[in-house]
């Protein structure tokens, strides 16, 4: 069997989850593809950390160019996070003829057109299923089996941290600060929760969804964005009296005149709407298409293994499409 | 632009929905693919019925062989329903080098291996996304972006008729017979509802899901199947007192010893489970994978346009994979 060689940028939580996903399902993945997969180089300075996996020391490198210029490497997986140097690394990998898989919503949303153009110009594939909704296969569904639709609307609960906090405020009657501390204690919020609670993470994901659904790129910074830091217990209770739940919704809708309106903000969701029942750290994406009508996708929007599932799904797609 | 030519078997409700989906989204579909699509022949005796679409009379034929032997036809869409002659027609189309798309769960479930083998032997593609969950892109997700998982369990509400009846019994306190008549009046149940209410339709779909998720084919007739005709108001009320809902669930689970247990039957579903909130004619599929963990897909499991969305999604996939 042919071996497809992979360079991995970053062995943090998501990198480790991707590595584990490949190791634990390697037999099924390789027999399904009819090729072997090997992660041959890993860009990572921390070679000592106990990750619960065994990585041969010789795979580690601190030189990114040694990955981009390695003629044996077919696919680069970018899991560094952040806009830079991740974007530059992805561009360089593609310019060197490597296919790229990433989970990086910030980089994709910030540099969508440059990344897509570079992939096209170099005849390589760029896949980023994990960047929106973690393990939920929403992007592949929109661009594949749902592509015969004109899309009309998307409403997403795309950030697990804020959904966990709003769930605790609703179900346990906590105020915002207490719910945030609870989320931090449970590992659902970072020490600096700004990107989550201010809606920045959700805006990145909405930017990507709009580009794919409406062929309309809007920079995340140009999406009107309100986070959840000002949501009060009183507002949660008022919503409940109106038979609604407050959810942080990434929303975009095609108007009759062809324009798209879009925003990230806390919204009242009727308790009978499928999004109303999405609680704790779960994500969900509700979409409407002119043929398929209403659909909702629900699952884990973060975490090492769910994200690893989506990353490895993209790797398999690239092998099937371009490397067999 | 190249033109991909399609032969359509059947212009009933689903055939008409497929035709409409192509007509209303033709510009976007063709510009996405970079090819034109033309339905050149339609096997249908009833040329007079008002379907709300304009079909040139010369496209109609009553001779199926004129489609299978037409060297210009690339793809055959089978929307006749029922096991025969649909299965024989699909086999003949593939033996003549045509790719095949179908929404026919009964034929796929009854003759899974023969159909798959014939596709492989003739180097053509066989796609059947619409056969399970209508417009919900569950099969493409399982075989594509989720393929890096070992699947552990599936629980599906896969039949809109029975879910509508159980919803009316639960929410309106109707007994089974009254709810069935209501479903028939609303167009959610057929005059002869046997295949739906006895669980046969759900068993067909479970057979297809198991083949794809567990690589294990079980004939629908070999799946233990209990329908909803014996569910009483008292049982619905008893479930509610236990904080549960009764749903007709198509269930399969991988056991620790590698075996798969499977059944279609009414089950108690905890009111906090995501399937508990799936009401009326909607379908949903809950799956667990060893990397992605819990996922749920929700949407319209039937209807001309949602089914047409899935059929045309398959057609687009075939064009992208094999006809460009």
B101-147: per-residue pLDDT in tens? Answer: 999 999 999 999 999 999 999 999 999 999 999 999 999 999 999 99
Q: Which residues contact B225 (CB under 8 A, 6 or more apart)?
A: B198, B199, B200, B202, B203, B263, B264, B265
- Site from A30, A292, A305 to mutate, B interface, most B CB atoms within 10 angstroms: A292
How high is the pLDDT of residue A324? 86
How high is the pLDDT of residue B88? 98
Report residues of chain A scoring pLDDT below 50. none
Tokens of B59: 């496209």
Beta bridge partners of A284: A157, A298
How high is the pLDDT of residue A294? 97
In tens, the pLDDT along A253-286 reads 999 999 999 999 999 999 989 999 999 999 999 9
Transcribe A173-232 into DSSP letters.
Answer: ---HHHHHHHHHHTTSS-SS-HHHHTTHHHHHHHHHHHHHHHS----GGGS-B--STT--
As a dihedral over the C-alpha atoms of residue B46, residue B51, residue B55, residue B57, rounded to 10 degrees, the angle is 30
Set of chain A residues whose Cβ sits within 8 Å of the Cβ of B137:
137, 141, 144-146, 295
How high is the pLDDT of residue B265? 98
Distance from CA of B134 to the nearest CA of A (A): 9
CB pair distance less than 8 Å for A148 and B312: yes
pLDDT at B324 > cutoff 90: no
pLDDT-based confidence at residue B168 (cuts at 50, 70, 90)? very high
User: Would you give the DSSP letter of residue A263?
Assistant: E
Q: Which of B28, B135, B146 sits opposite A137 (nearest CB)?
A: B146
Distance from CA of B314 to the nearest CA of A (A): 6
How high is the pLDDT of residue A80? 98
Question: How many other C-beta atoms are found inside a 10 Å radius of the C-beta of residue B41?
Answer: 23
- The CA distances from residue A188 to A185, A302, B77, in Å, are 8, 9, 47
Catalytic entry in A205, A233, A253, A324: A205
CB pair distance less than 8 Å for B298 and A293: no
Comparing alpha-carbon positions, the chain A residue that sits nearest to B294 is: A299
pTM score: 0.97
CB pair distance less than 8 Å for B135 and A293: yes
Closest CA to A304 of A89, A22, A17: A17
Interatomic CA distance for residues B268 and B145, integer angstroms: 31
Quick one: average pLDDT of B291-310? 97
Q: Which of B136, B148, B274 sits opposite A29 (nearest CB)?
A: B148
Set of chain A residues whose Cβ sits within 8 Å of the Cβ of B135:
291-293, 295
CB pair distance less than 8 Å for A292 and B315: no
Quick one: average pLDDT of B152-172? 97
User: Would you give the DSSP letter of residue B225?
Assistant: B
In tens, the pLDDT along B19-76 reads 999 999 999 999 999 999 999 999 999 999 999 999 999 999 999 999 999 999 999 9
Distance from CA of A122 to the nearest CA of B (A): 19
How high is the pLDDT of residue A13? 96
Q: Is B205 a catalytic residue?
A: yes
CA atoms lying within 13 Å on the CB side of residue A80: 21
Question: How many other C-beta atoms are found inside a 10 Å radius of the C-beta of residue A253?
Answer: 16
pLDDT at B167 > cutoff 90: yes
CB pair distance less than 8 Å for A313 and B135: no
As a dihedral over the C-alpha atoms of residue B277, residue B136, residue A220, residue B146, rounded to 10 degrees, the angle is 100
How high is the pLDDT of residue A190? 94
How high is the pLDDT of residue B218? 98
Q: Which of A21, A291, A310 sits opposite B308 (nearest CB)?
A: A291
Mean per-residue pLDDT of chain B: 97
Beta bridge partners of B7: B41, B76
CB pair distance less than 8 Å for B309 and A32: no
What b-and-e string marks burial along B133-171, b requiring 16 or more CB atoms within 10 Å of the CB?
Answer: bbbbbbbbbbebbbbbbbbbbbbbbbbbbbbbbbbbbbe
CB pair distance less than 8 Å for B145 and A150: no
Mapped onto helix, strand or coil, the DSSP state of residue B226 is coil
How high is the pLDDT of residue B164? 97
Set of chain B residues whose Cβ sits within 8 Å of the Cβ of A297:
295-298
Distance from CA of A31 to the nearest CA of B (A): 11
Quick one: average pLDDT of B242-263? 97
CB pair distance less than 8 Å for B149 and A309: yes
């Amino acid at each position: 069997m042919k071996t497809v060689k992979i360079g991995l940028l970053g062995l943090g939580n998501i990198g480790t989850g991707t590595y584990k996903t490949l190791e634990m399902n390697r037999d099924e993945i390789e027999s399904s593809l009819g090729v072997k997969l090997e992660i041959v180089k890993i860009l990572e300075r921390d070679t000592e950390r106990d990750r619960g996996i065994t990585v041969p020391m010789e795979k580690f490198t601190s030189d990114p160019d040694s990955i981009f210029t390695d003629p044996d490497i077919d696919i680069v997986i970018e899991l560094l996070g952040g806009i830079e140097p991740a974007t530059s690394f992805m561009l360089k990998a593609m310019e060197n003829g490597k296919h790229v898989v990433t989970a990086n919503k910030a980089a994709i949303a910030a540099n969508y057109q440059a990344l897509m153009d570079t992939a096209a110009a170099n005849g390589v594939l760029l896949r980023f299923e994990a960047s929106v909704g973690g393990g939920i296969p929403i992007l592949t569904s929109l661009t594949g089996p749902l592509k015969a639709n004109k899309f009309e609307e998307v409403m997403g609960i795309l950030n697990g941290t804020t959904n966990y906090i709003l769930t605790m405020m609703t179900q346990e009657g906590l105020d915002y600060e207490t719910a945030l501390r609870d989320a931090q204690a449970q590992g659902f919020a970072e020490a600096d929760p700004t990107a989550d609670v201010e809606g920045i993470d959700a805006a990145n994901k909405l930017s990507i969804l709009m580009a794919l659904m409406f062929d309309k790129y809007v920079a995340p910074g140009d999406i009107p964005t309100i986070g959840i830091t000002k949501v009060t217990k009183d507002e949660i209770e008022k919503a409940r009296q109106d038979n609604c739940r407050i959810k942080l919704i990434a929303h975009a809708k095609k108007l009759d005149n062809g324009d798209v309106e879009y925003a990230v903000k806390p919204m009242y969701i009727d308790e009978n709407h499928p999004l109303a029942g999405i609680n704790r750290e779960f994500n969900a994406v509700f979409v409407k298409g002119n043929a398929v009508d209403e659909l909702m996708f629900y699952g884990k929007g973060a975490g090492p293994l769910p994200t690893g599932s989506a990353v490895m799904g993209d790797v398999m797609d690239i092998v099937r499409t371009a490397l067999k």
